[in-house]
Amino acid sequence: MVRIPEIKPEDMDGEQKRLYDQVMATTGRVNGPARGYIYSPGLWETTNAVSGYFENCSLTHQQIRIIGMLTAQYWQSEFPFAAQATLALKAGVERAAVEAIRDGQRPAFADPKDEAVYDLVSEQLGNKKISDATFEKSAEVLGYPGVVDAVGAIGHFCKVAIMASTVDIAAPEAAEIKLAK
């Protein structure tokens, strides 16, 4: 059950409609957590800008998707997990790794940078902090920009996952990989 009613374009105020039109022109879709964000256009616009930043940051697309899946799995947020899993597969993350993350298991990574991202994010979410040892390993492998981008991505995906859960958006029926209910 979706908790927040959808606002039809004809019922949007000027700022909502401007942003809706902008999103439709660039992505062709308004779904998932956007059902909540439309009620706060400034927050939606800022969230979209942060999403755009992570498309070209110090981390690879695979690493950003690993962070997105881990965060959505942590919050048990169905829609973002399904979306991130789909994007992860398209970005080249192995299906076995996607399924392991979905199931709360540690995947095997061939790339030490992917492993460092996984360790940093898992520890931050699981322990609510990063140990000195994990920080040092992450900084050595990813560099400080990679550590900072990973932490920023955790925060971003937490916000998205919590919004989707608050609005109560389920994974699309057609989603290839979903969280277990």
Sign of the C-alpha dihedral computed for residues 8, 14, 18 and 19 taken in this order: negative
pLDDT at 82 over 90: yes
Parse the chain into domains and list their residue ranges.
Answer: 9-54, 59-167
Contact 66, 114 (CB under 8 A): yes
Which CATH fold topology does 59-167 show? AhpD-like (1.20.1290)
- Which region holds residue 128: left if phi is over 0, alpha if psi is between -120 and 50, else beta? left
pLDDT in tens, 120-144: 999 999 999 999 999 999 999 999 9
pTM, entire model: 0.92
pLDDT at 28: 75
State the average pLDDT for the chain: 92
Tokens of 98: 């996607």
Per-residue confidence at 1, pLDDT binned at 50, 70, 90? low
Cβ atoms within 10 A of the Cβ of 73, count?
A: 21
The residue-averaged pLDDT of 18-32 equals 83
